[in-house]
Each structure stands twice: as structure tokens, then as C-alpha cells.
Amino acid sequence: MRNTKHLLVLPLALLSGLTAIQAQESESRGAVFVMTNAAVDNEVAAYDRGSDGSLQPAGTFQTGGNGSGGTVDPLKSQGSLALAFDHHFLFAVNAGSGTVSTFAVHGANLDLLDDSPTGGSMPTAVTQFGDLLYVLNAGGDGNVSGFRIRWDGHLAPIHNSSRWLSGSAVGPTSIRFSPDGRLLVVTESATNKIDVFKVRGDGSLSNAVVNASEDAKPFSSVFTEGGTLVVDAASNFVSSYHIEKDGTLQAITASLPTDGMATCWNVITPNSRFTYTSDAGSGTLSGFSVAHRGALKALPGTIVGTNPEGSANLDAALSTGGKYLYTLDAGTGAISAFTVEQNGTLTGPVITTGLTGSSGLQGIAAF
């Protein structure tokens, strides 16, 4: 049997080794992808990214499934659209049809390879490490399910990989692998819990170690290169955690205010120096420096970027080298582009319009 795990892990290792170099280079090529989440014929809208961060429409591509529809933030999740670390594949959830789609990525062009059932209902987020893909199913009581990514992009379910979360009606909002792929983290906004699963050698998971969040309504999470977990909360705080060997969390920085409203999405720069939250209620971006051991400190003024009124900026994404930060402005049907300066401040935004506002847009990915 062909060993697909090494085919995907090797590019990830190379990417990690080149992060510092890429951050200093001019990002002359790239793309940004946004999901329409349409209730009938869900699509991904693609954009060519110029070296100055500007975007040009490059077409729309059907996922083969149906989204949830709705108006603003119907999925209530981070990661409904996700790029593989080597940028060869793009994954999109189809909440209405209970499937996840896999695309081959050729610049800003996409080829649909697979549309697979997710092992649950209403999938809202995905995460990938090597040849592992895990899907967060938010319907019913909620669960996570795992797949192997074959060399041709098709997904093969992992036997006995589905796991329940902490209880019923937990309101799961994000799913994330740790940088070494040994842990899987799920945030539960309704219960104020953070679940930590250990990833076994066969790709299946342990049962969840359930932790209390430092903040009410934990929503999304990112990891630093060193494995510090950074979680932002819809209660407008951000906290960082060390994960112990037994899966329990120890707070490093607890309950740092974002000074924004509806803080629900976050990103971290490739060098792990800065993290930003997207605050949909206030149309702002909040910025924080990240110390070597994971301590957070607000950048001067805390609010480092402001979108036009009514933007309802949801999910955010960074270009490969971390030079450009993009937000999906679901209220106005636009994408905002900010330039990340060396001191962590943001300049912009430059606005790209053309999407339909308040139409259920959800999910953004970039390289």
C-alpha cells in the first residue's frame, strides 16, 4: 500500500523549516478562498492574490454539497474552510448535506476531488495534520470524526474514530490539531469547556479530557509553534494555556480584554509573534504579542484594525508568510485586506467587494 502519511507530512516539515525565510520574502503568489455556504449548491469563491495583497476574482467552484444558508454567521464556527498545510488540498464543510468536500488547489483554481459523509450531522469545521483530517459535527449532541486523506484527495473514514464531546447541546465552535499532531482541541461555547483529545497511532482518539475555560463562551483556538494554546471568547477576552501531558490546561495569560465586541475568530502569525482576534460586533481587529512561553500582551491601543460599519467581519486568514491578514465581512459581502507591519500593527483595510452580504457567507482560507 502506498504510504500517504509521509507524502503529506514531509511538505509540512519543510514548510515549518522555511517559515522564517518566507516571512521575510515578498509574497508574490497566492490565493484567498471564501465559502458561500449556500443552502443549495454550496460554492467556494476564489481570488488571485497580488504581491501587494490585492485580490482579483478567479471564479467560483461548487462543492458538490449544500450549505446551511442563513444570514450572518449561521455556522457559528471557525475553520469551515481550511487549506492543507502544503496547500495541495482545500477542505470545505457542507452543513446542509452532512459532507466535507476536498479540492485540489492549483493557484486560485480548484478541482473537486471528493465529497464524503462526515459521520455526524451539520459539519461546521475541519482541521488537518499530515494525512489526518478531523471534522467537527455540531448537529445533535455534537461529535468529531476522523479520516485518512488518500494521495488522490479522497477521504477514508478511520475505524472507531468518532468521539462525543463533554455532553449534550455543547455548542462546539472550533477544532484544531496541535503543531505536533498529538492532540486535538475542541471549544464548546455553550458549556464554557475546552476538550482535549490525545491522537493515537492509528489516527483514532482517546476520550475527551474536559477543561473549564478561563472565559465564558470560548469560541476559537490557535496554537503557537511551541504548542501554547490561544483561545478567544465571545465574551470578548483572550487567554493562553499550556497543555499538560494528561490533557489538562494550565492558564498562562487569563482573560485579557480584546476591547472589541463579539470576539469569535483568531489567527496567529507564522512566527508566533502576534495573534489577532476578529471582533464581528464592533467591526474591529484586536492585536496581541506572544512571548516565548506563551504569555500574551495587548499591542498599543489593543484595537489595531477597523472595518467599515456593518462589515460583521467573521473568520480571518493570513497569507503564507504572514504579511497580509484577510477578514470575511459577511454583513457587507466583502473581503478586507490588512498589511501586517513588523511591529504587529495593521495598515488598511483595502476592500474587495462582489459577494452577497447577509447571505450566509462563512469560512475563509489563504496562502
DSSP string computed for 105-153 = EETTEEEEEEEEE-SSSSEEEEEEETTEEEEEE-STT-EEEEEEE-TTS
Per-residue model confidence as pLDDT tens digits over 100-154 = 999 999 999 999 999 999 999 999 999 999 999 999 999 999 999 999 999 999 9
The pLDDT of residue 28: 79
The pLDDT value recorded for residue 296 is: 98
Using the predicted structure, report yes or no on whether residue 95 has a pLDDT greater than 50: yes
Q: What is the pTM of this model?
A: 0.93
Cβ neighbourhood burial of 298 (10 Å; 0-12, 13-18, 19+): middle
* pLDDT average, residue stretch 258-283: 98
**Residue 104's CB: how many other CB atoms inside 10 A?**
15
pLDDT at position 29: 85
Q: Residue 27: its pLDDT value, please?
A: 78
For the chain, the 3-state helix, strand and coil shares in percent, each to the nearest 5, are 5, 50, 45
pLDDT at 20 over 80: no
Q: How far is residue 337's CA from residue 328's CA, in Å, rounded to a whole number?
A: 9
Tens of pLDDT, residues 172-202: 999 999 999 999 999 999 999 999 999 999 9
Confidence check: pLDDT of 22 > 60:
no
Q: Alpha-carbon dihedral of residues 35, 276, 191, 139, nearest 10 degrees?
A: 10
- 7: its cell numbers: 507524502
> What is the pLDDT at residue 107?
97
Nearest to 277 by CA among 351, 219, 347, 200: 219
**pLDDT for res 236:** 98
Question: So where are the chain's domains?
Answer: 4-12+31-366
Output the average pLDDT for the chain.
Answer: 93
Cell numbers placing 147: 479520516
Per CATH, which fold does 4-12+31-366 belong to? Methylamine Dehydrogenase; Chain H (2.130.10)
